[in-house]
Structure 1
Amino acid sequence: MHFAPLLLIVACELLLLLIEQYTPLPGWLHFGVSVSLAAVLLCFVALFKQREATMVDGLRREIGEMQQEAAKSARRYKSLLEGAGNAIFIFKVDTAELEEENRLGRELFGFTKDELSTMVVRDLLDPSEHERLRTFLYQLVRNGKADWDEVQLKRKDGSSFLGEINARLIDLGDEQVAHCLLRDITDKRRTEREIWQRNRELSILNNMLTSMNLGKDLKTVQEGTLRQLMELLQAEGGTLHLFTPDTSSPTLCASQHASPELEQVLGETLNSPDGLRDVCVVPLGSAGAGWGSLTSIPVSSQERLLGVIHLIHRVPHSYTLEEMRFLETVGKQMGNLIEQVRLFTELTWKSEELLRSHRLLEKSSHSLSVSETKLKQNLALVERAHLEQVRLDRMKNQFLGMVSHEFNTPLTSIISGVDHLLQQGWNSQEDACRVLEMVRDGGLRLKALVADLLKLIRLEARREGLETSAIHLRMLLENLLDQLQPLFEERGQVVTLRDLDHLPFFQGDCGYLERVFYELLLNAIRFSPEGGEIVVNGRVVQQEDLHQRAHTLTRFNPDFLRRCGERCYLEVEVRDCGIGIPLQEQQGIFEIFYEVGEIRHHSSGRRQGKGAGLGLAIVKGMVEAHGGMVWVESSEGSSFFLVLPLEQEAIQPALF
């Protein structure tokens, strides 16, 4: 391609020379052809230079991009290597020379990067592991991977630690390298050993308890515990001596691999056991020929020494603080078991004695049992008669109390006032005013009672229609609370309104509902103790919520759930902290002239006694006039519930 223009010019010149041999050509033609060919040659050269420059630029860009990718890959590799959570080493498989490591690897061994670059894998191992290295490398080459658990490694300062190696073979074509993950498992293995020992200790303590529960005798438990202690603490011998009140010297209860002479010497050392209150380790003298140390473990219960466990080692032995505590626990647990066996034996003997005494008592008390049966029958008859008399007296007292308190008091005020005016002859204006006030109060009370009776008659006859308007429960209750505030202050009671702000407006007769909540609050004031709390809360309920309480609602209004439809209702609860209402009387309190309980149990302050039995009947009539219903739930205190429809039904329901 580079010589194509030049070859074209040479070919043209040769062609012209060949033509001139046969036909003479003018000089200008030869010159023109030469100039044209030279121009073509220059164009080809310029195009070639431009193309060559374009190719060079493209190659430079590709080389730059490849260099950037190579640098990025190198950084990524370095980041992965240094950011790994374990020590990483890379070495040549054939020579075991270290090629690369991360920061954790250098910190683990304490060498610098330059120092590690001149080392081989063997330099990082404890000399005892050099032979195992060959096996490890052989498995790595053969399987492509190898794991080495519990290998002893050596740091720069000469200290050794236990490690774990996971290696993978990487084939780079011209050489093979190994990628190794190395972890220090010294703490892990130490923790595992400690956990194993703690589990073994717990197993010994558990076996002591379960063996007794499984019915094994005490001697078997003692021998098994001594044998397990020897296995756990690597003792070569052991004994158990107990103090008994029947003998002056301690009794040998269990022995393992101890000579009779040593058993006798150990028993004699317990003749003065005052110093044996804690676990102690002492060297053995001539009596313990062939033994290195003796461990004494006191067996005690409730600070009382019952015996001693001896563990014997052939070489001097030391214990950790945790092992000493464990031995103390074993001694106390063994003492508790011995004490429990003693108490159980004593209890068994006393139970047998008690059983014999009981049999004698049964024989002598047969006649007394017959008399006792007759006495119980007579007492039951007397109790039933007494309860019937109490019930009749209560009914009589309730009736007389209602009549005398609710009707006799206003009439007495009127009659006394009139008699006073007749006797005094209006001599004192002040007395006349006071008497007239008494007459007025009594007359007003009688008028109110009559008005309530008339109201009930109209409600039963449904002669009055509802004058409905938009009502919000909180606004309605706040107006009533202002009217009743003197009563709350007089009795030190508190009214709490809960969850009322989010309730919607509803259509209702404001006058009726004011009377409803007035009666419920007045009822709560009467039946709550002084200083008590009255709570009013409300919520919107669906048809499903009402049907979930069908058992309760049906008791008070059997037809309500049938005609409630799918409307939403506003449920209001007025809860007091009074003495409550018995279940058998809850339905009757909404009837006319019905009252529950003793007069003296329900009031304090100046408003003593009960009402005339009209208030809750009026509440029921007015609520049902709105298409709702009212009921009561009572345990400690009473909760009066009423539901009012948020959507009015077309047909007015039956009131009673």
Structure 2
Amino acid sequence: MDRHNANTRSTKILTGLTVGAMLSALVLLWLAQPDPSVWLAAALLLGLSPALLFHCARLTTRLERHHRTLEQEATHWREQADHQEKSARIARKRYQQILDHAGDAIFFIHPEDGTLVEVNRQAENLLGYSAEQARHLSLSTLFPGVHQRRYLRLVKRVLKHGYGEESNLVFRRQDGSEFIGAVHARLGEMGEETLVHGVLRDVTEVKRIEKELRQKNQDLLLINQIAGRAASSRDLDAMLTVILNEVTQAMVADGGGIYLLRHEGTDMDLRVHQGIEESVLAELRALAPGQGLAGRVAVSGHPRASANLQKDCRLSSQAVREAGWHGFQAIPLTAQGRTLGILFVFTRSKRVFSRDQVQLLMTIGRHLGTAVEGAELLEALRWQVRLTEASSRELERSRQLLRENLSRVEESNRTLARIDRMKSNFLALASHELRTPLTCVLSGAEMLEGRLQRCVDQEGEQILSIIHQGARRLESIVEDLLEVARIESQSIYLAQEPIHLPTLLQEVGAAFAPVMAERNLCYQLDDLPEVACVCGDSHHLKKAFQRLVENAVKFTPSGGQVRISGGLITPEELRHREEELRKFTTSFFEQAGQKPMIRVCVEDSGVGIAPEEHVRVFDKFYEVGDITEHFTSNTRFGGKGVGLGLTLVKGMVEAHGGMVWVESDGTMKKGSAFHVLLPLEEGSALLSG
């Protein structure tokens, strides 16, 4: 550009000189026509003019070419300048968009006074001020109280260290509301100007959540401490005292207490307390369920509260009102749905306990309820242990006595077994030893009776008859003894033949017909089922039924009745009576199975048998009644034998796979009923089915 300007000036000078020379020559020619020197000068000037004009033309051409080049360069640079300006505008616009659309509030701070130089749209929305308003905003308006000084200290830290942050700075919005902001600031430059730029986040909700979490952590720590003490402590009062102290501190209360319910919830026992005057304690100890706020908790199992006890009509204690209690909260101590006590705290200023605090107290109440229940169970267990120890000592003494008694019983059993063996041996021996001389007596008596029948008088005949009858009676006793011995040793021979019970019972009745007529007894034989056939020994079964009929005849007074009846009995009916009949047998029900049975009943209208003697009448040598009134007879009323008849009946029936039992209430005229149960023969059983 400078070179172009110099060439332009040179061209203009040459052009001027050329024109000046030509004008000078013309003037000289006009003024000095006759002077040759003047003509020479004029000619020289005119001669130089074309050279000057040529040189000027060349310079002009060069200048025009250079001018075009310069214009092209100027156009290029103008385009470059426009492009740079456009890029700058785009960059400024992009920067502003980034600034305005940033997720956080961004602002630029003057490093000297801390005022805001520029803010983005998020900062405008957060503070409630426009960018223009923010530039003229005083710090006292933006920051309440001490937070202005904290903000300025932050700016100084940034200027000193290049970075600074403040996580708990309070800002005031345009509408007057406040929020907690976290500021992260750095030192930077905007053009040639040094500024502090910061990022602002609203952390009010975060701080609130952090505060709640800290409170929750404190609550959980308190609950864990209480649960730990409740689980580890064995002294209930000491545990409740420590827990009450911790609860009052956590609730920032002036005092409190813990009631435990006694006697199934009818009494309230103020077990521990804190911060309560003696004048108030007397009334609180007299409180009953349903009285006052704490008493209502005991009845309902729900928490009760009052913000101002002084004006609460539910308050039943005048001493509490005079003591200046205001805020009150009571909660139940529960375990498995039962209310075991009440925990209450109070303040001397008006106060409403928050929902979270009430929930915390309810949780503590459940832990305490479980601890109280555990303590009560432990106390009950200790008492049970003491009772068990006493019972164990008593049981040990009883065991010692039992061992001594068992030793004596075992000795008695051995003695009884020895005596029973001696008795059995004696019976067997006596039976065999008596049989031989008895046979001699009978043979001799019969021989004397046959030979001396015509030689002796009537008195002699009577004596022989007495000898013969006595020998026969003794023979019968010996036979019974031998039969008992064979039954007990299971060496008795039993034939296995079909027996038609109705026919057999008719024969038994026919044998006793004369005696019945002599004693004026009514004998009745009911019809038995025709299928009533059993398998066994007819001789022995007939003797068994004869013994039963004989027994009925002997214990039925004249004019009485002896009746024989019977019928089939199913296994189901038998099982229904198993518990009642098991005392009469040891093995029948295990062997009976599903066999159908025939039951034969021999009943009379005699004296009867007492219920306590029903089982014993089947024992050997057992006699009902006073032994001093014993007399022997087979047919007379009240006559008795040696006590083997029912023993032989029981043994013989059981040998045939059956059983026998007696039914009687022991009263006169109702008599006794002896029941004989026998399995039916297989063919009969099929017919009965």
Question: What is the TM-score when the length of structure 1 is the normalising length?
Answer: 0.49
Structure with greater Cα Rg: 2
Question: What is the TM-score when the length of structure 2 is the normalising length?
Answer: 0.47
